[in-house]
Amino acid sequence: MEEANLKKSSAEESATNEQTAQVWRDVLAQAVTGELVAALNYEALAGICTEPHEKAEALEHAESEKGHAVRFTAAGRDLGIAVAADVYALYWKRMRSAFMSRVRDTDFVGCLVVQEVMLESFAVAAYQQIADAAPGKLGNTFAAIATEESEHIDHAVGMLRDERTRDPEAFDAKVHMLHEEVMTTFAEMVMREDRGGHCGLCYGSCVKPSLPGVGLSLSNIRGASLRHYLKTLDAIGLPGETTLGWVTQLPV
């Protein structure tokens, strides 16, 4: 009887460990894909930069994002997890498409808004949430990269604040237009259920219902990301009563 109980306990522990590994594998798949999308975005941005220093900064940021992807992949490997990535996955493809529309219009400011305000705000806040829950080296990796991503936001805020002073009405209208495209996609990505079907990155079924099992809360990730986004818009100078209205209209 005792031997049977030990076998049952061992089997249950093995199943729990496998389930936990699957959750972190799917979380890392999103993180690595986001970093690779960012690298592609910065490389495309470099192509429309007119100033040599801007081009150099964009390429430097692209290499930084590639490095983040490598570090996330290595952290997964240390846990015995093979991390997949796909920049054409459902939601990331849509966000990259929004960025590339700005590239095609040679809209340097629009590119900064999409990548360094919207996508980086999501990354910083989400990574901080994940860092608090992830074990050991994985948590440390998420925390370190969150800090590095926040530097990209700081880099953009001053430039965008100066840009807004030239024509606040036109600037705010542009940000709102991009908000409706990019942040709506983000909001749909972190909904409890995927409206568009499987995200294309989770190994099996959607990972969202399993997040509490590793100490993560989807609502906390969404809330933290939107708060960081609003804080960044405040720093640029957009009126808080207006941007809060934008956020409250996002799908939930």
Read off the pLDDT of each residue in 128-140 and give the average, rounded to a whole number.
95
Mean pLDDT over residues 194-208, rounded? 85
User: Would the pLDDT of 8 be above 60?
Assistant: no
Confidence of residue 198 (pLDDT cuts 50, 70, 90): confident
Convert the pLDDT of each residue in 81-129 to its tens digit.
999 999 999 999 999 999 999 999 999 999 999 999 999 999 999 999 9
Checking if the pLDDT of 12 tops 60, the result is: no
pLDDT of residue 3: 53
| Average pLDDT of the chain to the nearest whole number | 91
Q: What pLDDT score was predicted for residue 116? A: 94
Supply the pLDDT for residue 115.
96
pLDDT digits over 35-91, tens only? 999 999 999 999 999 999 999 999 999 999 999 999 999 999 999 999 999 999 999
What pLDDT does residue 9 have? Answer: 39
* Gyration radius from the chain CA atoms: 19
Look at residue 7 and tell me whether its pLDDT is greater than 70: no
Q: If you average pLDDT over residues 145-149, what whole number do you get?
A: 94
- The band of 11, judged by pLDDT with boundaries at 50, 70 and 90, is very low
Give me the residue spans of the domains in the chain.
2-248
In this prediction, residue 13 carries a pLDDT of 43
pLDDT above 70 for 164: yes
| CA dihedral over 40, 115, 181, 207, signed as positive or negative | positive
Superfamily for the 2-248 domain: Ferritin, core subunit, four-helix bundle (1.20.1260.10)
- pLDDT at 151 (0 to 100): 84
Task: Give ∠ CA 176-119-177 in degrees, rounded to 5.
Answer: 15
